[in-house]
Structure 1
Amino acid sequence: MLGYAWIWVGIAVIIATYSLGASGVAGGFSLTTVILTIFAANLAIGAFMILTADIGTEHGLSFAVYLRAPFGIHGTHLPAVSRGLVAAMWFGIQTYLGALALNGIGEYFLGFSNWFVWYLVFGLVQIGNTMLGMKSVERLAALAAPAIIAISVWMYFSLEGLARTNGLNIWTFRAEGQMSLLVLFIANMGFWSTLAIDIPNLTRFVKTGTRQRGFFARNRNIFAAQLLALPVTQAMIAGIGAVSFIATGNWNPVEVIQGDAQGMALVILLALVVLAQWSTNNSANLIPAALTFINLAPRAITYKTGVALAGVVGTLCFPWEILGNLFVFLGYYGAFLSAIGGIMVADYYALRGRKLNVPDLFNSNGQYRYTGGFNIAGLLAWFIAGGLAAWWSQYAFVIGFPAGFIAYLLLMKALVLPNHPQAELGRGNGDEFLAASVGKDWVHTGFGAFARVDCDAGHELPAREDL
């Protein structure tokens, strides 16, 4: 539980978060209103994450593999790779920002200035760290998270002091903007809509209590991360961005303090900026991107190859060129990703009741083949709901999610289920399509064969002739 919570503290601290709070203050709201709105928005998206997280804790499935159920064994590649490309691009952007900080350290100690060299070095270090697996990522987060919190507190008091010097009270300051509070709320929800849909990539590694029928008991180790670490950290960091804007008119406190700091204080600040980008990139960008690329060609792409490929793709996007237009681009991506979230929740809970025919997810001729490997209900629902959300991109999440949910259920029942029966929906079938909650786990034994074993047995497989 603690390791997973630390990961989320690290994920929530990225430079772009500062701009969220500043935009709220610039929009005419008080600092208190902005912080509470951002906290509430992240609490809401955290609650949504808990719903999709159960796919990982119950069945141990990654995001891309699960999508074979609502989209088909070939159809899964369209939404999964879309998410993977966004994650890879974010990796490039975060690495670029970290490289700028490393370049500042290099200038101070070595008199050497070349951000692209630092970009390559920083990128390779992150890729190598992520290749070592989830435990390595967790250890980095445990180191980074307390340091990030400490530097954030220091930033707050530095900026608050600067505001007082300029004759400003950060708690009573009001700008002339006219932003809608609902727009601010939805924008902050949409910020993590990407991870909200592929959260099973992380929760499949979280320690899960078996034979726990209750949803809360089964998922107790993820609650602290999604309902405490994420909203508290996001609200705190965005609040610092708001204070920076009030004090100086610049939403980026790193630039503000970097302009004033000298000597080791500057070096420590920049080092912690690097650490923040690193801890986010591992779990929020490299791992999700790698897993979607693996799903695209599992016989050719291993986990380590997928991580390396994510780094290459993130660099080829030329993140230093698109950074200025990032939020417009990701706003439209977020519209289609929110629709995927609605489809996932509709499929997993409303349609299948958390039951999945896991072996057929890996069977090219199984029930999830649908029509030529594509589930027309999932794809149509995605395009319809995503298009509606993109049309009203300011309200993307609150449009895309319910539209995807409703459209998918209607299309499945009208177009797909009559011709493509799903085994887990048959009468009398129940526990045989559940996993952790009934103390079972699916284990691949080779040659496309699966064994359903007792979780407490340490995956002791029956003899081949008994399978």
Structure 2
Amino acid sequence: MENKKSYLKSPDLLPVTHAQRKVSAFGFSVIWVGMAIVLAAFAIGGSAIISLPLPYVILATLVGSVAIGIFMTLIGDIGVEHGISFPVYMRAPFGTLGTHIPSIMRGFTAACWFGINSYFGSTAINGILNLLFGFDNWILCFIVFVTLQLINTSLGIKSIERFADLAAPVIILISCWMYSTLADNAVSQGKDVWSWVESPATGVAGFTAFMVVVMANMGFWATLAADMPSLSRFFKAPKNERSWFKRNKTQLMGSLVVMPITNTFMVVIGAVCYMAVATADPIQALQASANGIILGVLLLMIVLAQWSTNTSANVIPAATIFSNVGGPKVPFWVGVVITGILGSIVQPWSLFDVLNSLLLIIGGILAAIVGILFADYYLLRKRRVNVSALYELDGQFKYVKGFNLAGLIAWIIGGGIANIFPTYSSLIGFFVGAGVYYVLAKYWWFVKYPQAEIMNPRDELYLGITAGRDWHIGDSPYTETEPNLVPETLEQPVTQKS
């Protein structure tokens, strides 16, 4: 009975208090450099340059990056305001059990990304070892690289930030070197980097190609847009600050400035990579255009880039979700292991060639979740949340046997319609998901199941940091247990005062 009452209160999922938030605006920007320098972005550039010249590829990437950055920042306010993670807040629009359905999909997607990035990193490690010692066994490198990343993530958010502090400047310098090497190779073949296109698309076809790049970039980061609260709950923010922009300044610089610039640079390198050696696979490109110490250093950049991306953007969100699904019996470190296993058994080395198509599908499905979160948090609850009830098995968010049908129906409709029109999947998914959920929740579901914060939206009861409030969840046997792993900043939770 005790476990039944308390499984929603796993210590890794309890709210983060103001004093426990350690990540600054600079720290998040540095983390973003590490996250955005990811080789899968090369596939977008390599595919785009076939139909569009580089200036249009850059413009489309910036548009898509800024658009998804806005979504990230909007949804990230959930973590900043209330200190709660994505799977916990999802109990509001989907129910205490319904949250597991979209959450598991998000977690599985993150695990697949972890596998893809680990594959690139392992082939780069194999290339370095082959260069230095004649060693050639990328599978062994893959196993070792996966293990090292999982250990790093298990050490906590500050360990990840310190790693990003070290890796980010090295990655930036080597990325510039990488671009220069590939661009010189392309120029030596008589190709103008800024105007060369393999099969130019014009008119309607050109606009469609442009929008595919926009949507691919949005789909690329749609997973993190939905899951940003899992990171943003650790961000520093001022108490009693009514200005949304001042309260979210840690997010704004990273998601609206650093990410678009860094992501665009990666897409550009992928495009130049294709120009130079007719493939967007950076490992093949580097081995064809560099040698000796230069090749070794460039391959090292690939290892650092994949490592820093995986820890923040993939392993933390996936492990948090799996911990939420499993309850206290699945602590965060077990979620980390599950992520590593799933990311390996999907055979990520076979996913790169179909990545762009997958991004459009994934983007629409996850953008619908982002739209539902936006409608629930901003339009219906107006940022006020009955956080204590999110941890109650038989409380406000139980709905019908743990399911909010308004959220599930809106997700199915939003994701389904988005994938009928894949060229605009992320935008359609967001707006259809938000619109359908708003109508169903406001005029049907919340009429049957009244929400305390909507019926009585008092700031002192339902706002978090804006009202100077830290949420403390009591009545759990786990409040006396040392919290685990990534939430290393979740020091000792305290019992809620009446």
Superposition TM-score, scaled by structure 2 size? 0.88
Q: Among residues 469, 473, 476, which one is paired with 1:447 in the alignment?
A: 476
- Within a 5 Å distance, the mapping from 1:1-20 to structure 2 comes to 1-20=25-44
The answer to whether the Cα contact below 8 Å between 1:424 and 1:430 also exists between their aligned partners in 2 is no
Q: Deviations over 1:257-302 (max 9, x none)?
A: 2223222222111111111110011011100100110110112111
The answer to whether the Cα contact below 8 Å between 1:443 and 1:459 also exists between their aligned partners in 2 is no
Shift of 1:189: 1.6
Residues of 2 paired with 1:226 and 1:305: CA distance?
29
- Within a 5 Å distance, the mapping from 1:170-189 to structure 2 comes to 170-178=193-201, 179=206, 180=208, 181-189=210-218
Shift of 1:253: 4.2
Matched with 1:92 is 115
- Within a 5 Å distance, the mapping from 1:43-442 to structure 2 comes to 43-178=66-201, 179=206, 180=208, 181-427=210-456, 429-442=458-471
Shift of 1:15: 1.2
The answer to whether the Cα contact below 8 Å between 2:98 and 2:403 also exists between their aligned partners in 1 is yes
The answer to whether the Cα contact below 8 Å between 2:371 and 2:430 also exists between their aligned partners in 1 is yes
Residues of 1 paired with 2:28 and 2:352: CA distance?
29
Q: Deviations over 1:207-237 (max 9, x none)?
A: 1111111100101111110111100001111
Residues of 2 paired with 1:447 and 1:80: CA distance?
24
Residues of 2 paired with 1:322 and 1:231: CA distance?
24
The answer to whether the Cα contact below 8 Å between 2:89 and 2:390 also exists between their aligned partners in 1 is yes
Shift of 1:56: 0.6
Q: Which stretch of the first structure deviates more once superposed, 247-256 or 274-283?
A: 247-256
Residues of 2 paired with 1:332 and 1:393: CA distance?
7
Shift of 1:446: 4.0
Q: Check 1:274–1:213 CA distance in 2 against 1; reply closer, same or farther (3 A cut).
A: same
Partner of 2:473, secondary structure, is strand
Overall identity of the aligned pairs, in %:
41
The answer to whether the Cα contact below 8 Å between 2:473 and 2:495 also exists between their aligned partners in 1 is no
Shift of 1:245: 2.3
The answer to whether the Cα contact below 8 Å between 1:107 and 1:113 also exists between their aligned partners in 2 is yes
Partner of 1:259, secondary structure, is helix
Residues of 1 paired with 2:351 and 2:278: CA distance?
23
The answer to whether the Cα contact below 8 Å between 1:363 and 1:448 also exists between their aligned partners in 2 is no
Residues of 1 paired with 2:283 and 2:115: CA distance?
19
- Within a 5 Å distance, the mapping from 1:1-40 to structure 2 comes to 1-27=25-51, 29-40=52-63
Residues of 2 paired with 1:462 and 1:94: CA distance?
38
Shift of 1:428: 5.6
Q: Which stretch of the first structure deviates more once superposed, 89-98 or 174-183?
A: 174-183
Matched with 1:453 is none
Superposition TM-score, scaled by structure 1 size? 0.93
Residues of 2 paired with 1:333 and 1:247: CA distance?
30
Matched with 1:455 is none
Shift of 1:397: 0.6
Give the total of aligned pairs. Answer: 458
Q: Deviations over 1:414-463 (max 9, x none)?
A: 3211211100012363331011111110112443899xxxxxxx999999
Shift of 1:308: 1.2
Q: Which amino acid aligns with 2:28?
A: Y
Partner of 1:369, secondary structure, is coil
Q: Check 1:245–1:463 CA distance in 2 against 1; reply closer, same or farther (3 A cut).
A: closer
Q: Which amino acid aligns with 2:105?
A: S
Shift of 1:149: 1.0
Residues of 1 paired with 2:362 and 2:491: CA distance?
40
Q: Deviations over 1:151-203 (max 9, x none)?
A: 11112222222222222221232443324222222222221111111011111
Q: Which amino acid aligns with 2:30?
A: W
Partner of 1:418, secondary structure, is helix
Partner of 1:367, secondary structure, is coil
Q: Which amino acid aligns with 2:55?
A: T
Q: Which stretch of the first structure deviates more once superposed, 101-110 or 128-137?
A: 101-110
Residues of 1 paired with 2:137 and 2:493: CA distance?
55
Matched with 2:10 is none
Q: Per chain length, whose mean CA-contact separation is higher, i.e. which structure has more relative contact order (CA < 8 Å, sep 6+)?
A: 2
Residues of 1 paired with 2:304 and 2:264: CA distance?
19
Partner of 2:470, secondary structure, is strand
Residues of 1 paired with 2:97 and 2:75: CA distance?
21
Shift of 1:330: 4.3
Q: Check 1:463–1:149 CA distance in 2 against 1; reply closer, same or farther (3 A cut).
A: closer
Q: Which amino acid aligns with 2:451?
A: Q
Residues of 1 paired with 2:69 and 2:382: CA distance?
21
For structure 2, the residue ranges without an aligned partner over 5 or more in a row are 1-24, 480-489
